[in-house]
């Protein structure tokens, strides 16, 4: 059984690996976090009245209406499990929530800055 020093070392390594993963997610973002949050909020509001049709229809509507880089956003979503509107909310937004400290407190913004 590992001693306290070994347990602490392992814990620090795990923390370092997790933080590195979070940093990689943040560095891979195609647009600012508040913009992605606005995108997810929009898709969520659209799915309240319609079922997911297994496409990125609402995602693409938001992207086009806000003049965002469509290919970059879609690739990021797909790389993070968002192959349709509901998966974007369930998977990609969760990745973002885990990678960005205080995500829930960030105000959504449709400015692509």
Please choose, from the candidates 61, 52, 39, 62, the residue with its C-alpha nearest in 3D space to the C-alpha of residue 84. Answer: 52
pLDDT of the residue at 4: 87
Give the residue numbers spanning the domain of 53. Answer: 4-105
What's the number of domains the chain is made of? Answer: 1
Is 113 within the bounds of a domain? no
pLDDT digits (tens, 9 = 90+) for 62-99: 999 999 999 999 999 999 999 999 999 999 999 999 99
* Per-residue pLDDT band at 104 (split at 50, 70, 90): very high
Is 47 within the bounds of a domain? yes
pLDDT digits (tens, 9 = 90+) for 21-55: 889 999 999 999 999 999 999 999 999 999 999 99
| Residues, the chain | 113
pLDDT of the residue at 14: 83
CB count in 10 Å sphere of residue 76: 21
Is 24 within the bounds of a domain? yes
Alpha carbons 78 and 39: distance in angstroms, whole number: 15
Is 112 within the bounds of a domain? no
CB 107 within 8 A of CB 113: no
């Amino acid at each position: 059984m590992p001693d306290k020093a070994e347990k602490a070392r392992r814990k620090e390594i795990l923390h370092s690996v997790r933080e590195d993963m979070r940093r990689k997610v943040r560095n891979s973002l195609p647009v600012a976090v508040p913009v992605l949050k606005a995108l997810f909020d929009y898709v969520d509001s659209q799915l309240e009245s319609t079922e997911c049709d297994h496409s990125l229809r609402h995602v693409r509507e938001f992207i086009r209406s806000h003049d965002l880089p469509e290919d970059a956003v879609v690739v990021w979503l797909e790389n993070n499990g968002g192959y349709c509107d509901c998966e974007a909310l369930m998977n990609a937004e969760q990745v973002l929530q885990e990678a960005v400290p205080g995500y829930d407190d960030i105000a959504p913004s449709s400015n692509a800055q």
